[in-house]
Amino acid sequence: MLGGLQQFVEPGQTAGILVNSGFRLKGAYADPDVVIAIICLVFDAGASDILFLQAIDPQYWTRNELEPEYRDMIARTREIPENRPRVEFFEEVL
């Protein structure tokens, strides 16, 4: 990446990542190796926290051989249990 993630992640900041992980067929989801690489880059850029913007099935991480080596780093991340935006409706009276 040109200039590195330091352009986008400030020290101590929480970074959000949306991972396409909810599929069973290889090729239909982001490879866990790629996501682990992104986690490494974001923490190396100085983020203190990573928040996944969608719940990730724990089995997702075991789809690769790197999981045991990076298990502790993966455990430092958090996730939003449900990706449902809060919606408020306003009734306009004319």
pLDDT digits (tens, 9 = 90+) for 4-58: 888 889 899 999 999 888 766 666 788 889 999 999 999 999 999 999 988 888 8
Residue 19 lies in a domain: yes
Helices (H), 20-88: 32-44, 67-75
Does residue 87 lie within any of the structural domains?
no
- Residue 10: other Cβ atoms inside 10 A: 12
Tell whether 89 is covered by a domain: no
Task: Decide: 67 and 74 in contact? Cβ < 8 Å.
Answer: yes
Task: Give the pLDDT band of residue 72 (cuts 50, 70, 90).
Answer: very high
DSSP 8-state symbol, 37: H
Cα separation, 72 vs 67, whole angstroms: 9
Report yes or no on 84 lying in a domain: no
Domain count, the chain: 1
Range of the domain at 66: 5-79
In a domain, 62, yes or no: yes
In a domain, 65, yes or no: yes
Spatial separation of the C-alpha atoms in residues 44 and 80, rounded to whole Å: 22
Asked if the structure places residue 86 within a domain, the reply is no
